[in-house]
Amino acid sequence: MSISEPLSKSITNVTPAKKANKSYDLSWENKYSWLGQVKGHLEKAFCVICNKDFSCARGVTAVIQHESSKSHKTIFANRKSNPLSKFLKKEDNLQQLTVEELVSAYHAVKHSLSYNSMDCLHDLLKYICSDSKIARSFSCDRSKVETIMSNILAKNLLKIF
């Protein structure tokens, strides 16, 4: 560059230094349990809490920035105050109850029990197993057994055979 050349001309000829793109580092998961890698994208990370991915081209700085973001903190606080386990217990009981009712309906048909006997079994289980939440919620009487057999089990058995 000579003294007679304008300064702006010499600046435009200079190529800017390229930023080094950093890729996801698996060791980050040891410190940030909510972090995961986006498959097929080495420069992206996934936040399990926020359910979204973000660029990690700036390395661990991007991870720290995401962790300190207002949206991440809000979602994290909401999940902490409403743990998933509160809701799963109810669903697990419902699922277990459904399985028990299906099994009892199948048992009645397999052993040629009348549907009327299910009315008695329904009351008997509540009496014998009074400490069981499932037994107290059990409501598989004759009409329900008939519906289960006609609309669920029979149709699925016909598909199999």
pLDDT of amino acid 92: 55
For range 125-150, the mean pLDDT: 81
68 pLDDT more than 90: yes
For residue 14, give the DSSP letter: S
pLDDT of amino acid 64: 92
> Residues 70-114: pLDDT tens digits?
998 888 887 766 554 444 344 556 778 888 888 888 888 888 888
> Residues 21-67: pLDDT tens digits?
578 888 898 898 888 888 888 889 988 888 888 998 888 999 999 99
19 pLDDT more than 70: no
pLDDT of amino acid 87: 41
Farthest CA pair distance, the chain: 108
| Number of neighbours of residue 95 by Cβ within 10 angstroms | 11
> Residues 145-156: pLDDT tens digits?
888 887 777 766
| Distances 127 to 8, 120, 123, 140 between C-alpha atoms, Å | 93, 11, 6, 15
Distance CA 129, CA 66 (A): 51
User: Of residues 142 and 92, which shows the higher confidence score?
Assistant: 142
Asked if 47 and 65 touch (Cβ cutoff 8 Å), the reply is no
Secondary structure (3-state) at 35:
strand
For residue 34, give the DSSP letter: T
